Amino acid sequence: MDSRGCGARARCVRKPGLNRKLSLAAAVLCIGCGFARADDLADLRAVRSLAAEAAQVIRLESQRRVTGTYAREMKDSAREELGNEAESAPAPRVKALARQAISAVNANDGAALERIVQQLFAMEGPHGRAD
């Protein structure tokens, strides 16, 4: 091998700046992938938060710790925001879970919302909670 790491049979062709261009291209691709993942993570967290809040309102309503008017308004708000997430999220799994959360809110099913929250936690993977 010579000083450039080439074997005796191989012929090295060095083009100045090629490695730099390839490195730059790889960095741009990685940054783009990171933004896409960050967007998906933000959507996951938004749906998870909305589902958890709705589950808490349902729980508090069943314990008669909040008024019916408050619970109704909070559930209406959750439905609307989950609907927005279901329409705008690019990831099909997030869309599906947002729709399931809407169905659970409509059915006043806090346990189903808790299961959805746990699924969303699992989908976040190693990124986990931000707080």
Listed by start position, the domains of the chain span: 42-125
Q: What is the per-residue pLDDT for 21?
A: 57
Residue 13: pLDDT band (50, 70, 90) is: low
pLDDT at 128 over 80: no
Q: Which residues contact 75 (CB under 8 A, 6 or more apart)?
A: 54, 57, 58, 105, 108
Residue 39 pLDDT level (bands cut at 50, 70, 90): confident
